[in-house]
Amino acid sequence: MRIGILSLRRTLYSTRRLREAALARGHEARVIDYLRCTVQVSTRRPAVFYRGRPLELDAVIPRVGSTHTFYGTAVVRQFEMQGVVTANNAGCIVLARDKLRSMQVLAREGVDLPETGFAHSVLDSQGLIDRVGGAPLIVKLVAGTQGVGVVLAGSNAAAESVISAFRQLNADILVQEFIEEARGGDTRALVVGDRVVAAMRRQAPAGEFRSNLHRGGSARRVRLEPAEEALAVRASRTIGLGVAGVDMIASPRGPLILEVNASPGLEGIEGATGVDVAGEIVDYLERLAEGQER
């Protein structure tokens, strides 16, 4: 197959590993800066051009960053119009990137989540705080990534202050219950197709509640309980993703979904688990191309 990896930088670990995995399986593979692509919207001849030349690909692996979701998914959508196989389709990437909408979709389908509130006005901030169980609680920027824009408020007064500050910046926020029993840890499951191919338990450093590896968290390989694995696959399928990083947290009422990521980083999970996740993604792409998976 002729595989395109849509990424802004070929030196990124995930991009490099995906290219290596594709080449190792005998495919042609090239890294394509999607911001340098142009699209021809045409009924008869839809096309994607790169550096002035039409791209002829059989499959693409989107690695669309949050800053460029609109343009990146437009390029992915154009490939879909040409019948090119995509590891994740454009509509599902957009859905996963919208934290509030994705949580609404998960909740509608009965997927267990932490209690979450959303509001535009700060006038009813106390009511919002009460509806998620009061402090301590988490305040999140809807557009935040990698733990940026996530604040733990230890008291109702602190929560009101953070909510007010974010709203003065005209930022959309989520207010979410704090699961104390998780003790600063969560689980990242890497779902490819209909199964979890790797999982790691992440732990926040001392004095921190965010377990993101970018913020100094540690990770170790873990074998998921059947309920955790089933929940991760269900969450990925509900959002419609073929490849997803599903973040879960333990709670007294069972595992809860925190987030479903459409472009999960591979460095942390491959390093912690030793699993060739990039290879699993390329294998999945092969099955899609052969019609063995949807």
The DSSP secondary structure of the chain, one letter per residue, reads -EEEEE-S-TTSHHHHHHHHHHHHTT-EEEEE-GGGEEEE--SS--EEEETTEE---SEEEE---GGGHHHHHHHHHHHHHTT-EESS-HHHHHHHH-HHHHHHHHHHTT-----EEEES-STTHHHHHHHTTSSSEEEEETT--TTTTEEEE-SHHHHHHHHHHHHHTT--EEEEE--GGGTTEEEEEEEETTEEEEEEEEEPPTT-----GGGT-EEEE-PPPHHHHHHHHHHHHHHT-SEEEEEEE--TTS-EEEEEESS--SHHHHHHH---HHHHHHHHHHHHHTTS--
Least-confidence region, from 8-12, 23-27, 92-96, 113-117: 113-117
pLDDT of 118 above 80: yes
Boundary-marking domain end, from 126, 144, 178: 178
Least-confidence region, from 49-58, 107-116, 164-173, 263-272: 164-173
Q: What is the CATH number of the domain that holds 266?
A: 3.30.470.20
Boundary-marking domain end, from 63, 95, 127: 95
What pLDDT is recorded for position 137? Answer: 85
Least-confidence region, from 68-72, 112-116, 122-126: 122-126
Least-confidence region, from 105-114, 166-175, 244-253: 166-175
What pLDDT is recorded for position 213? Answer: 53
pLDDT of 211 above 70: no
| Residue 110 located in a structural domain | no
Tell me what percent of the residues of the chain surpass a pLDDT of 90: 60
What pLDDT is recorded for position 181? Answer: 56
Average the pLDDT over 92-116 and give the result: 93
Query: What is the C-alpha R_g of the chain?
Result: 20
pLDDT of 98 above 80: yes
Q: What is the dihedral angle through the alpha carbons of 232, 66, 20, 189, rounded to the nearest 10 degrees?
A: -10
What pLDDT is recorded for position 28? Answer: 97
Q: What is the pLDDT of residues 13-57, one digit of tens each?
A: 999 999 999 999 999 999 999 999 999 887 778 899 999 899 999
Identify whether residues 12 and 90 lie together within a single domain. yes
Identify whether residues 84 and 50 lie together within a single domain. yes
Q: What is the CATH number of the domain that holds 48?
A: 3.40.50.20
Tell me how many domains the chain contains.
3
| Residue 37 located in a structural domain | yes
Q: What is the pLDDT of residues 262-271, one digit of tens each?
A: 999 999 999 9
Domain span including residue 271:
181-289
What pLDDT is recorded for position 161? Answer: 84
pTM of the full structure: 0.85
